[in-house]
Every structure is written in structure tokens, then in C-alpha cells.
Amino acid sequence: MLVSTLPALQLIYDTAPIGLACLSPDCRYLLINQRLTEICGISIEGHLGRTVRDCVPALADSVEQIVRSIVATGEPVIGIEVAGQRADQVEERSWVTYWHPLRMPDGEIVAVNVAAEEITERKRAEREIRSARDAAETALRHLRDIQDTLIEAEKLAALGRMVAGVAHEINTPLGSSLTVASTLQRKAEQFAAEVARGNLKRSTLTGFLELVSDASAQLVTNLGRAAERVQSFKQVAADQTESLRRSFDAGELTGQVLSQFERQLRVRDIAFSLHCESNLAMDSYPGPFGQVLTNLAVNAMTHAFSDGETGTINVSLRAVNDDHVELLFADDGCGMAPDVERRAFDPFFTTRRHDGASGLGLHIVHSIVVDRLGGQLRLESLPGAGTRFQLILPRMAPDRR
């Protein structure tokens, strides 16, 4: 019965676009088409009647195991991948194979049909895709490392600008204190000389006591101002370097951070106004919050009022409801063109790269507001009409651990 069906099978085999073979239970080739002979480079006549072990010894153990399994269980075996290399070829080729039992009318398994579809090109494409994906992931990791480094550098640069501002703010009261102390020292020496000569007058004593009282008051005021600046700077610097979560008053922190820019704004003749509601308690990240304020201030001075232009910066902070506060940072500077506004938060995008701008300032602002503080950020700007940033921040920041 099997012999009578072989010519019909051979016709199917010869016209099939994939490799086909018919194996006896002892793994001898009963039929095979030209497509499948490409695996080992042996002709159809060279296969017929011979065993798999004779023709493809490298695959013999696997083939014999599959055939035995099909004969024993009657179940087909599907999707087995096979890789091989002909002696006269360098490249390894791959196939996916499907194995089905060939039965007699009484159900007896008398042969096994094998179909092999070559997937060499698909495998090659998969390898190329994996290689390209690995290269892209490596490049992405490298880019993220560079971006993280640049962001840290930008933070340190902002901290450096803050240090410069604080140094000036401290120098002013300390300079005044030094002048008062020098005057007091000189008057004290003159007073001591008069006492030593024994001709101290009541008016001299009264004048000296008044001088001491006035100088002491000035010293207390100036040194207190300097100490307040130092304490403010210590807290802001600690917040920006550690980025720890804590409870704070948003209005007080806003005033502390933006006070570091008072000298720069005065020197550039940029008017500044700050209006903060009281009792704006937040449980959030004061360091990133301060970084946002610092970057917005630097952005305004760099872009809104470039080339010595003057204008006004208005900052306000108010409660939106019990759970959120609104921070508005607005200037009446040069504004942004629509295409610049669309890309304002893109990393490394800047219109003043020739001035040393990194293009990370507003990108850091967006990342902190949205990803770290859990807030929302909106930008409105028109050429010649200034720029306005609206930040809606939750009083209780989300847990980003």
C-alpha cells in the first residue's frame, strides 16, 4: 500500500517550495525532494534507501530520537529548529522542521513525513536586529550617562552662581561691621588716653558711651544680617546637594533661594517682585524645588534679558486648594518664537549656545516638576511679550523611591 502511494508523493515533493522527505521507521529515506538535498549536498538518488546516519551523521541522533518518539506515541513533532553546514559551504544554514506520522488504513505508522523550511535569512535578520538593538541600548546608556553628567554640572554651576551672590550679600554687612569696629577701636584708644592723662570730661564720657551704644547696635544689625544670609545659604545648599525630603514653608524657601540673585538683578537693572502667601506648608523635596527656582531665574537673565536689556521679573506663590500650590514665574522680556516655545523643554536645545548655554536648564525644570515633585508645568510666551511659567505643585509630593 505504501509503495503504491510513493509516485503520488514524489509528484507533491518535486513541486513543493520547501524541503520534504519520507523516512521509514528505521530512518531510511523513502522519498526526498531536491530542496531538502541542499542540506547535505547529496543527490536524490544518493539519499534513497540510505539511512539518515549515512547521509547526515551530525543530525542522526536527533532525527532517530524524533522518529522513535512519533512511532511510539503517534503524535507529531512540530517546530524543531535544525542548523547544519555542508562540507562544500562555509555558511551555516538553519531550518525549522515539522514531523508527522504516515499511517496505513488500520492506523499502523509505516513512515514519517518531514517538512523543512529554511530560515537562514530570518535567523540572520534576527541576529542583525539583536546586534542593532544592543548597539542602540549601549548608545542610549552612554547618552544617559552623558546627560546625567551634564545635569550634575548644570546643578553645580547654579550652586556656583548662588555662592557668588551670597558672597556679595555677606561682604556688604561684614564690610560695614568692619568699618564700625575700626571706628570704635580708634575712639576707644582716644578715650583710654584721656583717662590716662586724668583730664576726662563728662561730655567726653557721655559721647563715648553714645558711640559705643550706636556702634553696638550697628554691629548687631550687620552681623545678624550676615549670619542670616549664611544660614539661608547653608540650608539652600544642603537642600540642593542632598535632595532629601522634608517639611518646609514654600514661601520662605522661595524667598531664600531667590534672594541669592538680588545683587545680579540690581547690577543689571532688572526689577524683581516676590509675593508669597504665608503658611504654605509642603512635605516635598526642597532641593529640587530650589533648583527649579534657580533655573527659572537663570533662564530669565540669560534669555529674556540678554544683551543688557532691562525689565521686570514677577514671582508669586499662592494656595490653589488644600492640596496644591501655584507658582507663577513671569518676565516682560523678549519672549519666545512659537518654534522655540515648542522645544523649550527639550534636552540640549538652546538659542544661546554661543554664550555657553547648555540647553539643560528648562529640561531640568520640567523633569523635576513632573517626575520628582509630581506637579504640572505650563509655558506661555510670545515674541516681545515676555514669558510666563505656571507650576502647580502638590503639597504632599509623591513617593519616588
Full-model pTM: 0.48
More confident residue, 320 or 399: 320
Rg (CA), the chain: 42
CA distance linking residue 10 with residue 380, whole number of Å = 76
CA distance linking residue 369 with residue 377, whole number of Å = 7
pLDDT band at 60 (very low <50, low <70, confident <90, very high): confident
Residue 307: what pLDDT?
A: 73
- Which of the 8 DSSP states describes residue 80? E
Q: Is residue 350 packed enough to be buried (19+ CB in 10 Å), middle (13-18) or exposed (0-12)?
A: buried
Residue with cell 545659604: 233
- Alpha-carbon torsion, ordered 123, 127, 128, 130, to 10 deg: 130
- Tell me the percentage of the chain whose pLDDT exceeds 90: 18
Residue 242: what pLDDT?
A: 52
Checking if the pLDDT of 1 tops 50, the result is: no
User: Phi and psi of 387, rounded to 5°?
Assistant: -135, 145
- Tell me the percentage of the chain whose pLDDT exceeds 70: 82
Rounded to an integer, the average pLDDT of 26-35 is: 85
The answer to whether the beta carbons of residues 111 and 24 sit under 8 Å apart is yes
CA distance linking residue 130 with residue 132, whole number of Å = 5
Give Cβ neighbours of residue 349 (< 8 Å, ≥ 6 apart): 343, 359, 363
Residue 377: what pLDDT?
A: 92
pLDDT band at 283 (very low <50, low <70, confident <90, very high): very high
Lowest-confidence segment of 29-33, 46-50, 234-238, 388-392 by average pLDDT: 234-238
What would the grid cell of residue 170 be?
555677606
**Helix residue spans in 101-247 (DSSP H):** 120-197, 202-242
Residue 256, amino acid? Q
> If you average pLDDT over every residue of the chain, what do you get?
80
Distance, first Cα to last Cα, the chain: 73
CA distance linking residue 380 with residue 361, whole number of Å = 17
Residue 92, amino acid? E
pLDDT band at 389 (very low <50, low <70, confident <90, very high): very high
User: Phi and psi of 83, rounded to 5°?
Assistant: -125, 140
- The pLDDT tens digits of the residues spanning 108-147 come to 888 998 888 888 888 888 888 888 888 888 888 887 777 6
What would the grid cell of residue 242 be?
542632598
Residue 359: what pLDDT?
A: 65
Determine how β-strand 311-319 pairs with β-strand 270-276: parallel
DSSP, collapsed to helix, strand or coil, labels residue 317 as strand
CA distance linking residue 298 with residue 291, whole number of Å = 10
